[in-house]
Amino acid sequence: MATPRRDVVDFGALEKELGAAVESERKYQRENDAKLRAVRQGVASYQQFRDLVLTSHLTPLDKNDKNARKRPPWNPVVAGGNQGGNPPE
């Protein structure tokens, strides 16, 4: 009689669960550190405290970051020149 094997380990699911647990712990530590910093700074209101905690995942930009990212034009058709639209003024 065939019985389902319960002793088989699904390593893919286990890896996902471990990754989620690690990320959850990192988030907890990051937010807790932000809370402690906010209390030490003596924020004036709960709204400032909350904003500091909610933005704890953000990192400041370096000087090199400003020029490193070149954004494509918002409308590439217009940026390439006048292609049948109104004549330029």
Closest CA to 30 of 60, 62, 61, 55: 55
* Residue 89 maps to a domain: no
Question: How far is Cα 51 from Cα 45, in angstroms, rounded to an integer?
Answer: 10
What contacts 17, CB < 8 A, 6 or more positions away? none
| pLDDT bracket for residue 2 (50, 70, 90) | low
User: pTM for the whole thing?
Assistant: 0.57
Question: How far is Cα 27 from Cα 42, in angstroms, rounded to an integer?
Answer: 23
* Residue 47 maps to a domain: yes
Say what the pLDDT of residue 32 is.
96
* Residue 82 maps to a domain: no
* Residue 85 maps to a domain: no
* Residue 88 maps to a domain: no
* Residue 4 maps to a domain: no
Say what the pLDDT of residue 68 is.
54
Domain that holds residue 67: 11-72
* Residue 68 maps to a domain: yes
- Domain total in the chain: 1
* Residue 24 maps to a domain: yes
Question: How far is Cα 80 from Cα 44, in angstroms, rounded to an integer?
Answer: 50
